[in-house]
A and B are shown apart, each in its own frame.
Chain A
């Protein structure tokens, strides 16, 4: 069993793992000759099914195994993310599967070149640069990363004339290798055809509003006025408050929270409902004609005033907050609503290369049980 690759897009990979890490501690990773698949199926809450084309993140990709060159791994996401973060300023990074003392590891080898600071004087007062970040060429693209864990990007001055120095970091991520049998059952979450599909507004916007709603609902619950409906059952089950998310086929998205004390909603209008691709829908043109979303188009209006035409899903507010963390990837997000059943988000990563495969991250939220 061999797996070895150079990571060519550390940023995407890091943000990707960070998004996944907020949804579950462990992912099942399936590597084959064409794609990398990450699956998270927690006992409850959000399932993730993510498929990345090899060249989205890797380069010089080598894979070999007895099982038709497929390797299945169980990978802890937080250590993986942590390891990748240390590569954010790297000149190069590679990953490989290895065994140490009979235990399997994914080993990340990171090379970082920085200017030598040794030219600086050792005295405490010897910093004149005032924290100017002179960057070596290799790190120019790392600064826009608002998720940079270093927070404190080096506050040292690089003013001194020095040669470049090379630091090599290896991060050993403990993993488990899964047998073919144990992963057979894993498949993409299946669900009936959605009633409404809509392109979501910028996730940061959506996240801040939904987080606020969730917080308000939590606050009013703590007020202890007692209650009925969603709020109450949430208390009983120890879950977060229920957000109600609805969309119609006329570009409207509605976010709603209802407690005893309040009923707040936010409505977006003018969003787009992408056309279905006849090639992708079962039954072609006819399939589209019979598709639930086609019927939903006849109901509702562009202002979102009508009571009709909404496909509604209720989701756990805190869970939703975690899902929204995929926003850091900056992809296009299409939400598919199966009325009162499930909400599936498709996240399409924009690849720089023209014609490159789109990588899809599917996040599906199981329906709220009320």
Chain B
């Protein structure tokens, strides 16, 4: 059990508000993960094609911060999920306050009430005002494992960096109803083109949204090194949300990506706040031979969702953990049933493959340093114990196999209880 408590200055409260506002553009719920050295707010959209994370450094962002693991354990962690609107409304009024200085808050205290002897588990936010008024908000939360997207920066060789103000200017040109954004460079100019894929005929053609292309010289970028004519397509809505937030922070946005159908990451930050957005991309090479097939936009999220895993780490206190969301559970079991023949390779090759393949995206890894932590896989080895196929090399790319959290009762999942005594092919005959 972890005791979490932190205090925010009025300025930091405003930043939290802005960050939450940005995260609402991705998902209606926000996940909080508190560790000893940082707190992160994350959101994963429903199609799992976009992941947003705002991490706040314990020492720099907060006035005071304590995340103390209970006796014994060193790896204390608190994770939960909230309805973003609820959290946002707590911080909403603060925006005007901190800027208007009228009924400004003095500080904002947040703590978690989660003890076995208390009937209610709540996230408690106390807004302490200058005039001696304290407003206390108690929010219900869902205790869940937080999913994080994995992004391999080493694979992403296309990189650029630009001041958010420039991008803010560009997005203002975009038509309001366009859906997709194509980013590419050609002859020293970078083009951001917002468009909508559906082409309609006849009378409806006039209702087709405006297609806007904004092109700027690569010299306007802080740095630019990306392959020419590489078209990378993301969602306009996501891009707008990111740019708007970055512009609030007056930050420089960095983008890095490898190729279409592989993830792209935007990152920016400053003053103890670090934001990362991992987005799935579509697109293709035009003009150059295309080694990568251009995937249909519609299918990209699906293919990505399959590589989503919900592993858990052993340090999380099992007794208090609620069952995982049913969505995760169902995905786990369908996944199992669909590809019974392809089973887990040994941990070592697993790790190796991970390094060479950026395919698995959304994996619950805790932070960058621990990305390669074999402990996670060892843990998985214990919970999942069969290996029916000899040819690991031909195993599909979903190397982060979905592993059910141990907290789930075995009765929920029949597959879970099967002893590793038979080949999968044999089992298959029974169905």
Contacts and interface: CB of A to CB of B under 8 A. Distances in A.
Given A117-B165, A118-B163, A172 B210 contact: yes
Nearest to B214: A169
Nearest to B195: A172
B213 interface: yes
A147 interface: no
A82 B208 CA distance: 13
A26, A105, A122, A174: residue with the most chain B Cβ atoms closer than 10 Å: A122
A126 B252 CA distance: 11
A120 interface: yes
Interface string A119-146: 0101111110000000000000000000
B173 to A, nearest CB: 4
A82 B205 contact: no
Contacts of B268: 122
Nearest to A173: B210
A166 B168 CA distance: 15
A212 to B, nearest CB: 30
A171 interface: yes
Given A103-B205, A154-B169, A167-B214, A116 B252 contact: no
Contacts of B270: 122-125
Nearest to A75: B206
Contacts of A126: 250
B206 A124 contact: no
Interface stretch (B50-58, B132-140, B216-224, B316-324): B216-224
Contact of A79 (B173, B210, B219): B210
A170 B172 contact: no
Contact of B169 (A76, A101, A122, A167): A167
Contact of A176 (B205, B252, B271): B205
A51 B286 CA distance: 43
A357 interface: no
B141 interface: no
B204 to A, nearest CB: 9
B173 A169 contact: yes
A150 B172 CA distance: 7
Contacts of A296: none
B263 to A, nearest CB: 24
A127 B327 CA distance: 45
Q: What is the size category of the interface that chain A forms with chain B?
A: 35 or more
A362 B187 CA distance: 47
Given A122-B251, A124-B250, A169 B213 contact: yes
Given A124-B249, A124-B250, A169-B214, A175 B173 contact: no
A302 interface: no
B175 A120 contact: no
Contact of B252 (A79, A122, A171, A172): A122
A165 interface: yes
Contacts of A103: 199, 205
B206 A76 contact: yes
A172 B175 CA distance: 10
B211 interface: yes
A74 interface: yes
Interface in B143-189: 162-163, 165-166, 168-170, 172-173, 175-176, 189
B207 interface: yes
B210 A122 contact: no
B45 interface: no
B212 interface: yes
A86 interface: yes
Nearest to A174: B208
A129 B214 CA distance: 27
A156 interface: yes
A103 B195 CA distance: 15
A167 B251 contact: no
A265 B381 CA distance: 85
B208 to A, nearest CB: 4
A334 B11 CA distance: 55
A168 interface: yes
A83 B249 CA distance: 28
B350 interface: no
Nearest to A76: B206
B50 to A, nearest CB: 24
A120 to B, nearest CB: 6
B61 to A, nearest CB: 11
Nearest to B213: A170
A239 B220 CA distance: 53
B167 to A, nearest CB: 11
B209 interface: yes
Contacts of A74: 206
B113 interface: no
A120 B205 contact: no
A193 B241 CA distance: 56
A83 B174 CA distance: 9
B206 A175 contact: yes
Nearest to B273: A124
Contacts of A156: 165, 250
Interface string A150-185: 100010100000000111111111111000000000
Interface in B191-243: 199, 205-217, 219-222
A167 B165 contact: no
B163 A174 contact: no
B172 A120 contact: no
B210 A117 contact: no
A58 to B, nearest CB: 21
A83 to B, nearest CB: 6
Contacts of B250: 120, 122-127, 156
Contacts of A116: 220
A83 B210 contact: yes
Contacts of B168: 154
Given A120-B250, A124-B251, A127-B250, A167 B216 contact: yes
Nearest to B272: A124
Interface string B253-295: 0000000000000001011010000000000000000000000
Contacts of B220: 116, 118, 165, 167
A243 to B, nearest CB: 31
29 contacts: A76-B206, A76-B207, A79-B175, A82-B176, A86-B172, A101-B199, A117-B166, A118-B221, A120-B163, A123-B250, A127-B250, A154-B169, A165-B216, A165-B217, A165-B219, A166-B217, A167-B214, A167-B215, A167-B216, A168-B189, A168-B215, A168-B216, A169-B212, A172-B210, A172-B212, A172-B213, A173-B210, A174-B205, A174-B206
Given A124-B270, A169-B173, A174-B205, 17 more contacts: A76-B206, A76-B207, A79-B209, A82-B210, A86-B172, A86-B173, A86-B212, A118-B163, A122-B163, A124-B273, A156-B250, A165-B217, A167-B169, A167-B170, A169-B212, A170-B213, A174-B206
In the complex, the 7 A-B pairs of residues with the closest C-beta atoms, listed nearest first: A122-B252, A172-B211, A174-B208, A124-B270, A76-B206, A86-B173, A79-B210
